[in-house]
Structure 1
């Protein structure tokens, strides 16, 4: 295989010729889908502008949460029922988005992170909730806020390039103590490249619980006095994933995946490790503490939906909560406050449902969206190349014949594709197509072992799982058309699938992808993904990366299906050159490929108008490829 790279020049976004080339490819792509895109845009805009409340946090003042719709807002619902905005993205500038926030327990001060045009790099603003007064502002890539006072807090800074203050090469995290606008680094010196640091406090605000993660498959836990960083010492960890839940008495409760990878909960106290909740045959996806009750969220081993088990801190099973509709359960906060915790759910038929769980384990609904009543959800199981059983969801309008299918997947970084309300899929389903979502290795639907079976030299399993699902669909439903779709790491999946088995697919849509596996570590923060993919600079890793890197697998005469690739110039996480170079190589060999380049979008999204227009364009391509008819919005 020749590793000559004639399109290396497309990595330089400061080169006017590169931008001119990209704009011309974009013009061609948009013109090709214009007719069907225009019919879809109105419907999609309504979907993307529909308000979505999420990231609920209980405080003494009331519930603080975010809303995404026509813009991005941070809101508060006071204890007396009054609601109001704390801040809106409209006040932060054009194309601004708010991505996350942290709040004091008192609910009087919040810190929120915002950026422009979907970039990862932005600003952290700390403001007074009542007056809106700006208390502090930090520029850069920051996360993990722990408030110690109104203008005093810890935060982690992510260094994307260059070196950390202690000389370690980026990417790397370091923890700072910020007070009245001044700061000092207090933790992380000497921690190697590609390790990430997250600090949180115990419920009583007495202890610091720190997770140091190498990639997405190994972590260590540190513990100490919240106010004394010099006391933070390692108490648990190894070549496995673990997360601190909270401190209860003299115990640090830890969710650990040290045995079969499904997860158990242990008490770490000094040199003693005592099992509280044992490992079962279902994946412990998250856990939280509410007073003296552990909420453990598990993923069903057969049908890949979420459910909650309640345990005492001694490990006694107190009860279960199983959603009426197969759903994904998210815990934005991993601890309750003043006797309540808020739990968020989503599914294929309901975008959001927010539950309040009280200390008596009573469950009430505080917010929910409309339900889609005419949707059927079915399941399938395929056998991969090595016999692994691969589950997939089948979602369609009641009575629809499975003749046109959009197969979606991800398969990496331990991210599970449990039920979700994919906005882009709604028009497809309404117009008679079938959405199939595959639970591939590389995710964590079946535990950490499932994740590791799709990492590094075993990454080929992910692609083979995806291919097995496509083959099973063709056996099951006969004469069908299949378009495949994936984004980010899912873009790598789709690009790999078409280079391995082009005969299986009728069209491919690839969004914001990682595709050049021999140079990803040299583009933006790609070095951070070495633990997941492998190191192109290591000869052993490079050998298997060469075997599946899609960019290097493109060859003439292979009969690849039509491809639509979309990316954004503001994507400062996954370099647009991955998309540029793959498209250029496909076009070099005469394949039908279209490249859409958004000027105001990054890896984390953009405004609803831009998101709707982008979705309308790649859906327009799918409609054309599958022969679907669309109604106007």
Structure 2
């Protein structure tokens, strides 16, 4: 079918109450008329009524868009193929998640041996009527007889932890609450596991109160949570978060502490073989990355950026060593080291070379052993395993390559397919190019450009430019059914590897945070200009998209260059940069954004805060803000306030709407049907406002 898309007439937005609320920071008065929209929708009837009114207007606009239902139908067809997640081995058993196609949630399976038939262990699809209750983290005991797992409800970051017997699938009585941002790590004997939790929040504040005083506990199977043993806490430093991991041999507990999101850690180890042993410090400066990679006896292996901005691999003696007594095993290289793990008698190290994965293996003394041959230019993740066992698994994908799971023997260097999808489309019909562009200050930045082969670009094509640019997170080549659906429509999908991520190590991250945050926006604007200059698209056909920190990115660049874009798609964005750190996990983000209570940071944040910099009287692109009423990572008040301000001033005739999902959070655990509905709305909105003619099989 083919339908012609066109923008709707001016919209009659719901009236939003504007209060006289304001704050004065360092002599500067800042109005905040929509602060009342920060209130939790579950506890405030006025906010709930506003959400209902906004969704009514948005739904009416979206459902009337040409081709919207056809896009949703086609997307469901494209989504309907078998998918697998990386397996975990425990004893002789293999555990992995599988989705038969369009199941709302992945199902956990177990194989009793590598060649045994898989059997279903946990199916979360029956846990709630709306499919919004998900299986989150899980880990089998070392012998594979039991499994600890966590449940996520309605997209919240809070987890409920339970345990089951693998042989019969029966759930035990154990149940843990107020768990968030936690590892689950078994004691070697399987008697219990270590986890991290927060104190129970005040009633009514569960989804907005700042998360402080996280502590590590040991839960013994069969005991009530009230009897769990406190293992590690820092009550005098309430802002520290902690995760704990037991070494493969069960001898050491490695506790990693952090205060923000800048990969700056403290590390302590506890000798689990010695009753009453106290935590011993390995690193305490909160200045460097210390990523635990594995152990052999008393030797602990870490990836660190201490004296190596792009990362190196070091070892330290668990009994006597510390950050000043390191042995360098693998020196810093020109490419950024992302991760390393000890598997068998090898160290497997993953690097980024211009945002593409390169995997090298080393002997335990650091000597280079081999370079893994990957199927193409893409991303390989995984490589978890144990010292003494050379078997591991990794997943490879790219923009035009659906995820395939490989079994890898670190001793021989041989890869074999463990699970591979059979797709209802030909991924080879799509091409991927990497280009480089120059940002405002002369920095060379990479970008991937993907589209269907043979696409006519003589007049440009509707294009979505995606970016993130923060928190040391790289944006890598990866497969997405929704992206493929956009390209099947005749669109281009581009990903810019802007500063703020870790594509080129610590320096790349530092160049995009704090007082350098404007570099991120400049890079993204330069990426857009490059797409226009090269003829891929035009400003009338260009959409910008990003989520979370990427939502902030979209909001900032639309304010700074509204003339450059036809559509803005900010999802679950951080939009009020003066109050972001007052809610849930927001305090962790000071590393990237700065502290609004500090005058220099305040002025820097105010200069680009999307909520505070909407330019009344300027023609803006069409904007579809997306968020969820139960997002307790970036609370929805950010998006509510931003949308209210967009609608309160004259920004031209294009639509400025907000789509608010119910019983969905920041993204994880969202059921497939909600994902498809939201993306169908998003693609239809983008098509309607970039002049795309929708053509579907």
TM-score past 0.5 threshold: yes
Q: 1:68-107 to 2 correspondence within 5 Å?
A: 68=99, 69-70=102-103, 71-79=105-113, 80-94=115-129, 95-107=132-144
Q: Look up the match of 2:55.
A: 26
Q: Look up the match of 1:361.
A: 413
Q: 1:52-63 to 2 correspondence within 5 Å?
A: 52-63=83-94
2:676 and 2:383 map into 1 onto residues whose CA distance is 26
Cα distance per residue 1:451-499 (max 9 Å; x no partner): 1211122111111110111111111117622101111111000000100
1:210 and 1:615 map into 2 onto residues whose CA distance is 39
Q: Look up the match of 1:461.
A: 519
In structure 2, do the counterparts of structure 1 residues 220 and 511 end up closer, same or farther at CA, with 3 Å as the change threshold? same
Query: Secondary structure at the residue paired with 2:374?
Result: coil
Say yes or no: does 1:152 pair with 2:172. Answer: no
Q: 1:196-275 to 2 correspondence within 5 Å?
A: 196-217=241-262, 218-226=264-272, 230-236=277-283, 238=285, 239-269=287-317, 270-271=320-321, 272-275=325-328
2:77 and 2:309 map into 1 onto residues whose CA distance is 41
Query: Secondary structure at the residue paired with 1:351?
Result: strand
Q: Look up the match of 1:284.
A: 337
Counterpart contact for 2:133–2:669, Cα < 8 Å = no
Counterpart contact for 1:186–1:229, Cα < 8 Å = no
1:123 and 1:250 map into 2 onto residues whose CA distance is 34
Counterpart contact for 2:335–2:351, Cα < 8 Å = yes
* Alpha-carbon distance, 1:280 to partner: 0.4
Which sections of structure 1, spanning at least 5 residues, go unmatched?
A: none
1:365 and 1:175 map into 2 onto residues whose CA distance is 38
Query: Secondary structure at the residue paired with 1:354?
Result: strand
Q: Look up the match of 1:423.
A: 481
1:119 and 1:349 map into 2 onto residues whose CA distance is 32
Counterpart contact for 1:172–1:195, Cα < 8 Å = yes
Q: 2:463 aligns with which of 382, 405, 408?
A: 405
* Alpha-carbon distance, 1:151 to partner: 4.6
Cα distance per residue 1:306-352 (max 9 Å; x no partner): 12101001111111013122121112636467330111222111221
Counterpart contact for 2:253–2:270, Cα < 8 Å = yes
Cα distance per residue 1:194-238 (max 9 Å; x no partner): 422121122212112221122222112222313557432111354
In structure 2, do the counterparts of structure 1 residues 18 and 428 end up closer, same or farther at CA, with 3 Å as the change threshold? same
Cα distance per residue 1:61-102 (max 9 Å; x no partner): 321112345022111122142101111112423321112211
Q: Which stretch shifts more, 505-514 or 598-607?
A: 598-607
Say yes or no: does 1:171 pair with 2:195. Answer: no
Cα distance per residue 1:375-416 (max 9 Å; x no partner): 111111121122111100001100112522100001111111
Q: 1:476-515 to 2 correspondence within 5 Å?
A: 476-477=534-535, 480=538, 481-515=541-575
1:220 and 1:284 map into 2 onto residues whose CA distance is 20
Q: Look up the match of 2:662.
A: 599
Q: Which stretch shifts more, 403-412 or 363-372?
A: 363-372
1:552 and 1:537 map into 2 onto residues whose CA distance is 17
TM-score, normalization by structure 1: 0.95
TM-score, normalization by structure 2: 0.86
1:547 and 1:494 map into 2 onto residues whose CA distance is 15
Say yes or no: does 1:448 pair with 2:494. Answer: no
Query: Secondary structure at the residue paired with 1:532?
Result: helix
Q: Which stretch shifts more, 427-436 or 144-153?
A: 144-153
In structure 2, do the counterparts of structure 1 residues 344 and 336 end up closer, same or farther at CA, with 3 Å as the change threshold? farther
Counterpart contact for 1:408–1:438, Cα < 8 Å = yes
Q: Look up the match of 1:621.
A: 685
Counterpart contact for 1:160–1:524, Cα < 8 Å = no
